[in-house]
């Protein structure tokens, strides 16, 4: 990453429970796409290289990841707002209704 970006970056780890954690994880991967691809190309021949990681060289992986990040971005925003409105429960009900309505449109 230092070669590619001039500094060290870290990846956010995935948390199954929160939409905003998942969105942050996806966005983090997308930000370091070039570095991951370069590292994979350099390490691909190593015996200890996990073959499952070769997926970062496939265009479909990044296209699907971008699409998934865009889909959950509104849910992530709603999650942040719900966390912020913990102190104001009257707004929480309105927000939950709004998210449920949007979700039905997606289905």
Is pLDDT larger for residue 63 or for residue 44? 63
Q: Where are the domains of the chain?
A: 2-106
Copy the structure tokens of residue 45. 């021949």
Is pLDDT larger for residue 99 or for residue 47? 47
Q: Read off the pTM.
A: 0.62
Is pLDDT larger for residue 48 or for residue 60? 60
Q: Is residue 64's pLDDT more than 60?
A: yes
Overall average pLDDT of the 45-66 stretch: 90
Q: What is the pLDDT of residue 59?
A: 95
Residue 37's contacts (CB-CB under 8 Å, 6 or more residues apart) are 56, 57
**DSSP-assigned letter for residue 17:** S
Is pLDDT larger for residue 56 or for residue 86? 56
Place 72 in a pLDDT band, splitting at 50, 70 and 90.
confident
Helices 33-43/19-31 angle, 10° precision = 60
pLDDT tens-digit map of 1-15: 566 667 665 655 555
Number of CB atoms found within 10 A of residue 20's CB: 19
Overall average pLDDT of the 44-59 stretch: 88
């Amino acid at each position: 990453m230092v070669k590619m970006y001039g500094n060290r970056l870290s990846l956010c780890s995935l948390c199954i429970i929160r939409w905003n954690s998942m969105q942050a994880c996806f966005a983090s991967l997308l930000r370091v796409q070039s570095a991951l691809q370069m590292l994979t190309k350099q390490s691909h021949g190593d015996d200890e290289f996990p073959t499952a990681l070769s997926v970062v060289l496939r265009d479909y992986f990044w296209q699907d990841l971008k699409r998934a990040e865009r889909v959950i971005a509104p849910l992530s925003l709603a999650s942040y707002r719900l966390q912020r409105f913990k102190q104001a429960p009257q707004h929480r009900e309105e927000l939950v209704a709004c998210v449920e309505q949007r979700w039905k449109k997606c289905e």
